[in-house]
Structure 1
Amino acid sequence: MDDSCQPAPLFTFGLIADVQYADMDDGLNFTQTRRRYYRNSLGLLRKARESWSHSAARPKFIIQLGDIIDGFNKDRGASSRALEQVLGEFSLSRIEVHHVWGNHEFYNFSRSELLCSELNSSILADASLSGTRAGGDIYAYSFSPFPGFTFVVLDAYDVSLLGVEEDSLQYRSAFNLIKRHNSNEDLNSPPGLFGDLKQRFTKFNGGFSKAQLDWLDSVLFSADKKREKVTIVSHLPVHPFSTTPMCLAWNFDELLSTIQSHSSVACFIAGHDHDGGYCLDKSTGVHHLTLEGVIETPPDSNAFGTVSVYEDRMVLKGVGRIPDIDILFMRQ
């Protein structure tokens, strides 16, 4: 689409994923195949923040898709300091930030600690006239930044081995689930062969409880009635064609089934897979976008984007490793 013919957007928002900052030298990923730029990631976040702050189309809010600091901070006793640094960088933009929780949040903090931290942005749902929260310890909420549009933040580690005590019912239930599919001694080692959907059953992934799925169903039912357009965000992707099997949510199929039963969902956005990915689910008309991660982005590039929202589409303008994508509203 020719930008000169495009009307002004209704609103814009920023996207960034997997900053995974740590004040340490570069290293390698879990499979020892990709370089991770731990210290440099803060500099790339700074450049993203400066771009958003000085943009003519200043974002109404930013969605941070999880893994804001790296798990190595925990071993170094630097979790709080690292979090303070990245949150300080975000605060300089004076733009509202919605934080998604990923596995590295739980490497550094317990669920109870996260709920009491600045990473708990569910309080922002109270400022939205149609905002709701899932309740309890589930970190899931919805908010409406503009009439006719709803955003839903999901808790992809509601069912997980991470962030909970090993003697808890939640831990034992998740452990029994993962062991049905993964017989490896190291549960961070994926089961099965490369490309096998069973590879998602690892300790660094998680899933959505029935309580959360029921809550999401109610939010989407309300959005259907109002003919709203819904964007769902999560750290973990839920469509096999938008990521590698190793990065999928444990019960991605149940989440997809929930989406399929509602007409309001337009887009699902996730992080976790540092290579990124995209697909249009033609059976539902829902776009599934997985954002490339900052942590594996070289110093001479970047990985963030700004989404302009119109009546009939969302337009992602990416920077560095993030491609431009036209997200047409296919449903309703």
Structure 2
Amino acid sequence: MGTSSAMDPCAPQPPLFTFGLIADVQYADIDDGFNFTRTRRRYYRSSLQLLKNALRSWSESAVKPAFILQLGDLIDGFNKPRGASQRALDAVLREFASCPVRVHHVWGNHEFYNFSRSELVGSPLDSSPYADSRPSEVPGQDPIYAYQFSPFPGFTFVVLDGYDVSLLGRQESSEQYNNAMNLIKLYNNNEDLNCPPELECHSRFTMFNGGYSREQLDWLESVLSAADEKQERVTIVSHLPVHPYSTDSVCLAWNYEDLLAVIRSHSCVVCYMAGHAHDAGYCLDQDTGVHHLTVDGVIETVPDSDAYGTVSVYADRMVLVGKGRMADRVLLFL
């Protein structure tokens, strides 16, 4: 007589929940081009098809993901000078509309190339209505785009605003813009602020990066302290990587050390996920056991491949199954 899987201790256990992962689609209805240094090809038009591939896979999956993490740069900055920002955004949002699960959108530099911060607030790219909590708003200032949500008991996800301190998306007359300009000018004397400083240790101080305000870091402290008390597992997501061993130095957040210090002072964080770099990166922070994962970008993925993944979450680990150039990974909770 056979033993049912429910009674068999050796049978594979189903995950507690799953979620989809994709980054840097950067769609534009233009011919292929190259990155800033003209060393990598970018497939602007076919990136929409790769997004469709991912959404179709998740929609047809026998076990639907609980949600999708879209890690920023959904449409490319080249749309703006062509007057095509809204048209490009509508094209990608039509694809997401066909997907039956909730999407959590992260804001990257290309969101701000196309739209101001005030235009993004309340737009279809603003997924903060799904939040369980978010930072308090300051009168007269655009809100910080950060929030937390819990898809399953014992697990919390935190979306962070990597351009809270930035030149992008801000009015040039604003205090935030002036503060960001003063900061970047301490390290970058180039006329073109998208050109990195010569010193590698300062190369992150470019216009296409940004940082985290004290207000956002204090809010994150409070979220992680509560998660510590409840012994939850926390995954943090943002557009910008924050561990120097998880990406090229030019892609790091301006004040990555400050965010790392917050993460390292709490036991609840298990993983930090980011996009921006277009090349996969990974490191395990030996001091804390936190996995730092930088996700491959769709925009630099050849049209006959893919760049997305599905993450299955268990009590003791997360298992990423990648498609195309995105590699499989097992992230143990240490």
What TM-score do you get using the length of structure 1 for normalisation? 0.95
Task: State how many pairs are aligned.
Answer: 320
Residue equivalent to 1:241 = 245
Residue equivalent to 1:128 = none
2:322 maps to 1:318:
yes
The one-letter code of the counterpart of 1:54 is E
Q: What are the superposed Cα offsets for residues 133-172 of structure 1, whole Å, 9 maximum, x if unpaired?
A: 1132100000000000000000000000000111111011
The one-letter code of the counterpart of 2:133 is T
Pick the aligned partner of 1:275 from 268, 272, 279.
279
2:13 maps to 1:7:
yes
Pick the aligned partner of 1:68 from 66, 70, 74.
74
Alignment of 1:212-227 (within 5 A): 212-227=216-231
Q: Could you list the runs of 5+ residues in structure 2 that have no partner in the other structure? A: 1-9, 138-142
How much does 1:57 deviate? 2.3
How much does 1:197 deviate? 2.5
2:108 maps to 1:108:
no
For residues 183 and 54 of structure 2, the distance between their equivalents in structure 1, rounded to whole angstroms, comes to 39
Residue equivalent to 2:5 = none
Pick the aligned partner of 2:166 from 160, 163, 168.
160
How much does 1:6 deviate? 2.8
2:134 maps to 1:133:
yes
Alignment of 1:197-208 (within 5 A): 197-208=201-212
The one-letter code of the counterpart of 1:94 is P
2:35 maps to 1:56:
no
For residues 260 and 204 of structure 2, the distance between their equivalents in structure 1, rounded to whole angstroms, comes to 15
Pick the aligned partner of 1:171 from 173, 177, 183.
177
For residues 316 and 250 of structure 1, the distance between their equivalents in structure 2, rounded to whole angstroms, comes to 28
Match of 1:101, SS state, is coil
- Pairwise CA RMSD of aligned residues? 0.8
How much does 1:5 deviate? 4.5
2:295 maps to 1:291:
yes
The one-letter code of the counterpart of 2:87 is R
Poorly superposed stretches of 4+, deviation over 2 Å: none
Match of 1:75, SS state, is coil
The one-letter code of the counterpart of 1:273 is A
- Identity across the alignment (%): 68
Pick the aligned partner of 1:186 from 187, 192, 206.
192
Q: What are the superposed Cα offsets for residues 191-233 of structure 1, whole Å, 9 maximum, x if unpaired?
A: 024xx22100000000000000000000000000000000000
How much does 1:9 deviate? 0.2
The one-letter code of the counterpart of 1:254 is D
Match of 2:305, SS state, is coil
Match of 1:290, SS state, is strand
For residues 266 and 12 of structure 1, the distance between their equivalents in structure 2, rounded to whole angstroms, comes to 16
For residues 198 and 326 of structure 1, the distance between their equivalents in structure 2, rounded to whole angstroms, comes to 32
Match of 1:259, SS state, is helix
2:267 maps to 1:263:
yes
Match of 1:273, SS state, is strand
The one-letter code of the counterpart of 2:183 is L
For residues 78 and 41 of structure 1, the distance between their equivalents in structure 2, rounded to whole angstroms, comes to 16
For residues 12 and 46 of structure 2, the distance between their equivalents in structure 1, rounded to whole angstroms, comes to 36
How much does 1:101 deviate? 0.1
For residues 11 and 282 of structure 2, the distance between their equivalents in structure 1, rounded to whole angstroms, comes to 26
Change (3 A) 1:287 1:105: same
Larger helix share, 1 or 2: 1
Residue equivalent to 1:37 = 43
For residues 79 and 227 of structure 1, the distance between their equivalents in structure 2, rounded to whole angstroms, comes to 43
The one-letter code of the counterpart of 1:206 is G
For residues 17 and 6 of structure 1, the distance between their equivalents in structure 2, rounded to whole angstroms, comes to 30
For residues 166 and 11 of structure 2, the distance between their equivalents in structure 1, rounded to whole angstroms, comes to 47
The one-letter code of the counterpart of 2:164 is D
For residues 5 and 291 of structure 1, the distance between their equivalents in structure 2, rounded to whole angstroms, comes to 31
Match of 2:271, SS state, is strand
For residues 133 and 201 of structure 2, the distance between their equivalents in structure 1, rounded to whole angstroms, comes to 33
For residues 59 and 198 of structure 1, the distance between their equivalents in structure 2, rounded to whole angstroms, comes to 39
How much does 1:87 deviate? 1.0
The one-letter code of the counterpart of 1:47 is N
